[in-house]
Amino acid sequence: MSELNKIALKIICNGKGILAADESNGTMTKRLEAVSVASTPENRLLFREMLFSSEAMKDCIGGVILYDETIKQTSSSGKSIPDLISSVGSVAGIKVDTGAKDLANSSEEKITEGLDGLRERLKKYYELGARFTKWRSVYIINKKFPSKLSINSNAHALARYAALVQENGMVPIVEPEVLMDGDHDAELCLIKTSEVIKKCFEELVLNKVDLSGIILKPNMILAGNKSKNKISNEEVSQKTIECLKKSVPSEVPGIAFLSGGQSDIEATENLNLINKNNNTNFIMTYSYGRALQQSALKIWSKNTKDIKATQNTFNHRAKMCTLAAQGKWSIELENK
């Protein structure tokens, strides 16, 4: 087993999943201001440190994706944030892309940037304690999009990123996200997501990336958020498995879904059904941002001194997601 494969498995084995706490300062400011909390470096750290020192970290959270600001911050106990995370057996990760910018000659679409100087930045992040990384590409969807240009350019960037990350001893999370915005049906999402993922693997192979040392972070197959043809959770799970079975090479150890704007329960229930119906060898788990943090953030904003209530809320979500990652979740357990 390669070192990279071992790290990947440590992050996603035994129902463990990933806490995506890598919101950029811009996004985190939107999230905090939406619940009337000032977005200062201290408040951003306060909220995140509460999560990283909560009880669910040990059994549920195999890895935490950090943002550049957070990985350099020191916790109240004096430990660095990566040390705080690894002290409970979890793995610290870091978002390394520098964001999605307008794609030239297809300005409705985005290209993710961050390759310039990446090798040097990766070395610094490794020294700070990161052992895995994330790069997210985003794709709009309708009959016309994503275009070949966006699919090819983003796949190329993702593969060059992944090769550099492995060169530096870390596991790349490869995240091609087909957005849920729009009135498209689930069938179109299936077709476009499959095309996007297949192209990513074509480029990953071309760039000689060790597929046993990556984690794929895709969207689930859903109808658009404005679609009149919503499908059942059972259908979501079947279509998602169908897509991944056809598009992902078998060497890949695991798949960690993004929540992408699904409600907490929806993201949990869909993951649970995916695992119940999973007839592949892939580990299927979560790498949720909003679906793990949003409820805790709401509780915290009511009383920022109430650490216990905030952590209890996060613990519950993390436990529910970890049950779902093993196909053991139920609405009864959810409401208990």
Nearer CB in complex with ligand 13P: 73/262: 262
Active site residue 302: no
Nearer CB in complex with ligand 13P: 136/319: 136
Q: Say which of 10, 95, 192, 217 is annotated catalytic.
A: 217
Report how far residue 33's alpha carbon sits from residue 27's, in angstroms, rounded to the nearest whole number.
10
Question: Encoding tokens for residue 1?
Answer: 């087993």
Residues 6 or more apart whose CB falls under 8 angstroms from that of 159 comprise 200, 203, 204, 206, 207, 209
Report how far residue 310's alpha carbon sits from residue 67's, in angstroms, rounded to the nearest whole number.
21
* Residue 288 found at the interface with ligand 13P (CB under 6 A): yes
Q: Kindly calculate the radius of gyration of the chain based on its CA atoms and give it in whole angstroms.
A: 19
The site string for ligand 13P over 245-284 (x = CB under 6 A, - otherwise) reads -------------xxx------------------------
174-193 positions binding ligand 13P, by CB under 6 A? 175
Report how far residue 250's alpha carbon sits from residue 267's, in angstroms, rounded to the nearest whole number.
25
Nearer CB in complex with ligand 13P: 296/332: 296
Give phi and psi for 26, each to the nearest 5. Answer: -65, -50
* Residue 291 found at the interface with ligand 13P (CB under 6 A): yes
| Least spacing, CB of residue 208 vs ligand 13P, in Å | 25
Nearer CB in complex with ligand 13P: 30/123: 30
* 219 DSSP 8-state letter: P
| Least spacing, CB of residue 159 vs ligand 13P, in Å | 18
Report how far residue 100's alpha carbon sits from residue 21's, in angstroms, rounded to the nearest whole number.
18
Q: Give me the amino acid identity at 3.
A: E
Number of helices (H), then strands (E), in the chain: 14, 10
The site string for ligand 13P over 208-247 (x = CB under 6 A, - otherwise) reads ----------------------------------------
Positions marked active-site: 217
Q: Which residues bind ligand 13P (CB under 6 A)?
A: 20, 136, 175, 258-260, 288-291
